[in-house]
Amino acid sequence: MLCNPPFLRGGERERGGLDLEAEGRQEEVQKERKTRHNICAKNYIKSHKPLALKLTSSRIIQVSNNLHFYERRGVIIMKFMDKDDFEKQNVFGTGQANTAYAKYFIGDSFLNPLTDPKCGLFLANVTFEPGCRNNWHIHHATKGGGQMLICTAGEGWYQEEGKEPVSLVPGTVIAIPPEVKHWHGAKKDSWFSHIAAEIPGENTSNEWCEPVTDEEYNRLG
């Protein structure tokens, strides 16, 4: 389920999205967030003088193999092939190699726990190298449960079985219900991070299924 804030959706409602129109200052908040985001991105661009940039009135195009800037619906998005550049934007930290779950991933992933599991709500920043994705999997629960993804840096994909893939950019929020088969990971031309929140529930467990094949993945572009 996609829960993009309207400032990333151009004010459009999407099926399954959060309806925030009832909030009184929503338009003002959207404008402020977008302004802050674009200022940060433009300052980052200015600090990297060697990068060959072509500026237009509607978008910023990066001419480089390692870093791409472009504007989508008024928000500057950054793709990263270079890990050092990416880590400057990955504010929640890359953490350590995700060796415990490596067999359920294609490519290298990293895990940085943000809370103690004993606190009742476990949060972790998960980082994927370009092309890395986890296997199809299901979060089981008899009551409650599921997972929330909050995308923080780079670009990635999320897909539920039988549905179209969803492009993930910083600010995208995905609510994953229990018992839904899905996968998520980086795009092939960018590092990617999201915060994963395990939703408390009863009799929760994870079922890991088959990998996302190269054929399936490469069709996404």
Write down all domains in the chain, each with its CATH number in brackets.
1-221 (2.60.120.10)
| 211 pLDDT tier (thresholds 50, 70, 90) | very high
Tens-place pLDDT, residues 126-140:
999 999 999 999 999
| C-alpha span between 186 and 189 (Å, rounded) | 8
Q: Which residues pair with 164 in a beta bridge?
A: none
The pLDDT score that the predictor gives to residue 117 is 81
- Amino acid 190 reads S
4-61 confidence digits (pLDDT tens): 443 344 433 333 334 444 445 666 766 665 566 555 555 554 554 333 333 333 344 4
pTM over cut 0.85: no
Amino acid identity of residue 48, one-letter, is H
Report yes or no: 168 and 209 within 8 Å, Cβ to Cβ.
no
For 157-208, the pLDDT digits (tens) are: 999 999 999 999 999 999 999 999 999 999 999 999 999 999 999 999 999 9
Rounded Cα–Cα distance for residues 217 and 45 (Å):
30
- Average pLDDT of the chain is 79
* Contacting residues for 93 by C-beta, under 8 A, at least 6 apart: 112, 125
